[in-house]
């Protein structure tokens, strides 16, 4: 596999682990860890909880005055099983803290130390070479004399020809050496720079996906609120239109006002 692809996969893997978080990974691995290494303790915890529940039910049904001896025996059994359950719970809590420490160490090695060692290991290996510029160095051509004119046509002093060749070997010109830091060949992209670029791209992709999700949720929220707002008046109108058994339908306020106005007009005519 190409070193550039290896570094790309490692960077994206560490970024995904950082997004998930150590707490979520621990919560997902804890049940599996306990089942593999502490199966007997889990079974004992389950059995003790069941026995304590059943014994307490029997204890509540036993009278402490009429059956004092039986009640005292049940009480001693409950206290004993509670002590055993606390010991088992303490052992499981200790196992959980041990898993937390192991997971922290493993994640540090996987997300911090391993990428650093990988970048150092491929420090002198070029990930890929930059495209060449228009002017090619005389060393690449095998000529005995260096070019005397720059691409723009101005004259290059003889003692500056070698410096011009070094700066003009890549498409980026004098800035190409930044991408080859710290130990990659000139004109190439080093492992450190490639890792930095991959990390930046991973951050940009993650932020863009988060923005899309937030935009989608923000668009869905007003629609749900508008639908609820439309349903509430409809439900109210339906409830008002349905007559309740044993109740008479009262006239509306507008109808009452019209009836009162008609009655007042009749009195004036009389």
Per-residue pLDDT at 158 = 46
Contact 56, 85 (CB under 8 A): no
Per-residue pLDDT at 182 = 78
Does any domain span residue 234?
A: no
Pair 101, 182 in one domain? no
Per-residue pLDDT at 263 = 66
Does any domain span residue 249?
A: no
Does any domain span residue 172?
A: yes
User: Which candidate, 256, 255, 10, places its Cα nearest to that of 112?
Assistant: 10
Does any domain span residue 241?
A: no
Pair 64, 169 in one domain? no
Pair 27, 68 in one domain? yes
Token digits of residue 150: 């720059």
Per-residue pLDDT at 162 = 44
Per-residue pLDDT at 147 = 44
Pair 151, 183 in one domain? yes
User: Which candidate, 210, 207, 214, 206, places its Cα nearest to that of 16?
Assistant: 206
Residue with tokens 């668009």: 219
The pair phi, psi for residue 129, each rounded to 5°, is -100, 145
Residue with tokens 């014994």: 55
Q: Which domain holds residue 28?
A: 3-121
Does any domain span residue 184?
A: yes
Pair 66, 151 in one domain? no
Per-residue pLDDT at 239 = 56
Residue with tokens 């088992």: 88
Nearest-angstrom CA–CA distance, 194 and 184? 11
Which residues does the chain have with pLDDT short of 50?
Answer: 135-168, 244-250, 270
Per-residue pLDDT at 144 = 40
**How many structural domains does the chain have?**
2
Per-residue pLDDT at 241 = 54
Contact 38, 93 (CB under 8 A): no
Taking CA atoms, 205 is separated from 13, 16, 202, 252, 268, in Å, by 14, 12, 5, 61, 83
């Amino acid at each position: 596999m190409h070193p550039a692809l290896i570094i790309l996969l490692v960077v994206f893997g560490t970024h995904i682990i950082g997004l998930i978080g150590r707490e979520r990974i621990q919560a997902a691995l804890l049940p599996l860890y306990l089942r593999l290494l502490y199966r007997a303790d889990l079974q004992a915890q389950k059995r003790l909880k069941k026995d304590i529940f059943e014994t307490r039910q029997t204890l509540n049904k036993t009278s402490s005055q009429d059956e004092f001896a039986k009640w005292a025996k049940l009480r001693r059994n409950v206290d004993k099983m509670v002590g055993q359950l606390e010991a088992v719970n303490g052992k499981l809590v200790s196992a959980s803290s041990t898993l937390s420490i192991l997971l922290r160490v493993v994640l540090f090695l996987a997300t911090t130390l391993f990428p650093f060692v990988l970048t150092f290991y491929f420090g002198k290996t070029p990930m890929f070479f930059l495209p060449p510029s228009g002017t090619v160095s005389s060393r690449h051509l095998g000529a005995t004399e260096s070019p005397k004119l720059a691409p723009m046509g101005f004259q290059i002093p003889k003692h500056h020809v070698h410096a011009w060749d070094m700066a003009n070997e890549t498409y980026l010109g004098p800035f190409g050496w930044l991408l080859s830091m710290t130990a990659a060949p000139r004109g190439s992209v080093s492992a450190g720079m490639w890792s930095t670029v991959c990390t930046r791209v991973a951050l940009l992709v993650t932020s863009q996906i988060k923005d899309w999700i937030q935009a989608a949720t923000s668009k869905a929220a007003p629609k749900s609120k508008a639908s609820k707002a439309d349903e509430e008046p409809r439900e109210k109108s339906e409830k008002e239109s349905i007559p309740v058994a044993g109740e008479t339908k009262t006239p509306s306020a507008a109808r009452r006002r019209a009836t009162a106005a008609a009655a007042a007009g009749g009195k004036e005519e009389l």
